[in-house]
Structure 1
Amino acid sequence: MIHEVDDALRTLLRAEVLEGAQISVVFDAPTRDWAAKVNAPTVNLYLYDIREDIRRRERGLHNEYEGAAVVARRRPPRFFKLSYLITAWTKRPEDEHRLLSSLLICLLRYEALPPERVTGTLADIGAAVPMSIALPPPEDRSFADVWSALGGELKPSLDLVVSVPVTASPTYPAGPPVRDEGLRVVFGDHTPEGRGGGGGLPVYGGGRGGGPGEKETPAAPAGRPGLSVRITETHGTDG
């Protein structure tokens, strides 16, 4: 996934900024030792930070279908922010500034990686890959700290952040579909043998024997599942 973002950025910059110029695009850490070995114009995209974009995290599960039936469920994709430190390396500061200006103008044209530049699993997902350029860094991190960690001297740079979806997650098989077959009600004195109620116990609201004036309905035929209901009638007496 990360290497696919690298490839997309390299292709984009070579096609729309460098345009065949003899300028290398690398992803090395711009340490002091590395800088001492640079002997040709170079654009460096150093991936210095990877962290989840919590604001884009979704809850719940996504359904997978076969026809109209749900066959499985999986967690929604999670987005991770890849932060690149972009620097230009030439013999003259003026040339570096000119190159940085061209890079900035190119990246400002897009709010996401162009789909035609995306390949591999990112292309298969089909989701947009948002990116932002030259925004202020988070409060818990400054570019001076990055350069200090690299052991190099502070240099003009662009901060590029790419928010990439990651879909790898467990798949949970779905249960069989619920069928709408209705509810069957059977009128009788007792529940059928072998079904809830403990084999012929009276249902709620009825006694074992019929009282005066009560008329009982026949018991449900054996082997017919359903709900047993006791029906009684009470006749009033005169004066």
Structure 2
Amino acid sequence: MLIPTVEDGLEAFWRATLPLPREVGDVSFETPASSWSSQVNRITVNAFLYGISRSAQPPRPAAARATGAGAQQRAPLPMVQLDYLVSAWASVVRDEHQLLGDVMSRVLAHQVLPPQYLPAPLASGVQLAVVQDQGNRPRDLWGALGGQLRASFLLMVTVAGDAFDWEAAPPAVTSVAGSAVATPRGAPEAPTAARGGSGIRREGSGLVRDADGSGPA
């Protein structure tokens, strides 16, 4: 449901901010080939999804969640990149250009799609950016679609992919059974016997062995 949720959010965002109510115009995600464009009879914003790839952004850590069965966690989620060719359609070219400029200005004003326009929550914010794609330039895309070159821009959408299932989180550490005690710096060393030393002790003017014979005579 990732892509439909993003596209529903984009449509709601454009309809509210342009504004473009349903009784006035359309927002379409159809392929803008000649078979589609010949049927367009109202002003329309078209966002054609021409590319899907894994984003170069690092995976997004997923926050743990609490359930009736206990805490759950999942692996960091990969970021997904969605590439759209955005164009405007109207009966007059000046109207197309006006609409396309309005769409671009709304995108430029919001680096992240306002979450209130999404029909369902996603694993991350939906990042928006107007970009240049040297591998897929607009004129090349229009040529591949078999249509005539028209004014358009490339929109890059980046969002976390819901790729991993939730798993039970390990129990939290609540107490420590024991701990080491550090010896203060400069403290006298423990007696030899306490340290498990060589069994040698001083007696009178010389050194003698212990009863086990481990010391010098």
The question of a shared fold, defined as TM-score above 0.5 by the shorter chain, is answered with: yes
Q: Tell me, yes or no, if the aligned pair for 1:72 and 1:171 is still in contact at 8 Å.
A: yes
Q: Tell me, yes or no, if the aligned pair for 1:76 and 1:167 is still in contact at 8 Å.
A: no
Superposition pairs of residues 70-149 of structure 1, within 5 angstroms: 74-122=74-122, 125=123, 127-133=124-130, 135-137=131-133, 139-149=134-144
**Paired letter, 2:113:** L
Partner of 1:17: 18
| Other structure's SS at 1:37 match | coil
Unpaired segments ≥5 residues, structure 2: 180-208
Distance 2:25 2:55 in 1: 33
Q: Does the C-alpha gap of structure 1 residues 177 and 140 become closer, same or farther in structure 2, counting only changes over 3 Å?
A: same
User: Per-residue displacement from partner, 1:18-37 (whole Å, max 9, x unpaired)?
Assistant: 34361111111000111111
Q: Does the C-alpha gap of structure 1 residues 13 and 182 become closer, same or farther in structure 2, counting only changes over 3 Å?
A: same
Partner of 2:215: 235
Q: Tell me, yes or no, if the aligned pair for 2:55 and 2:80 is still in contact at 8 Å.
A: yes
Distance 1:29 1:132 in 2: 21
**Paired letter, 2:109:** R
Distance 2:63 2:44 in 1: 46
* Percent identical: 29
Q: Find runs of 4+ consecutive structure 1 residues off by over 3 angstroms.
A: 61-66, 70-73, 170-183, 212-215
Q: Does the C-alpha gap of structure 1 residues 115 and 72 become closer, same or farther in structure 2, counting only changes over 3 Å?
A: closer
Q: Does the C-alpha gap of structure 1 residues 235 and 71 become closer, same or farther in structure 2, counting only changes over 3 Å?
A: farther
TM-score normalized with structure 1 length: 0.66
User: Per-residue displacement from partner, 1:128-171 (whole Å, max 9, x unpaired)?
Assistant: 221102x211x322222211221111110121111011132145
| Other structure's SS at 1:6 match | helix
**Paired letter, 1:167:** D
TM-score normalized with structure 2 length: 0.72
Q: Tell me, yes or no, if the aligned pair for 1:85 and 1:157 is still in contact at 8 Å.
A: yes
Distance 1:19 1:36 in 2: 21
Q: Tell me, yes or no, if the aligned pair for 1:63 and 1:72 is still in contact at 8 Å.
A: no
**Paired letter, 1:33:** S
Superposition pairs of residues 38-77 of structure 1, within 5 angstroms: 38-57=40-59, 64=64, 74-77=74-77
Partner of 1:229: none
- How many residues align? The count is 182
Which one of 155, 158, 166 corresponds to residue 163 of structure 1?
A: 158
Unpaired segments ≥5 residues, structure 1: 184-211, 216-232
**Paired letter, 2:216:** G
**Paired letter, 2:13:** L
Shift of 1:88: 1.0
| Other structure's SS at 1:91 match | coil
Distance 1:40 1:62 in 2: 43
User: Per-residue displacement from partner, 1:99-137 (whole Å, max 9, x unpaired)?
Assistant: 111112222110110121123141xx3x3221102x211
Distance 2:129 2:62 in 1: 28
Q: Tell me, yes or no, if the aligned pair for 2:62 and 2:77 is still in contact at 8 Å.
A: no
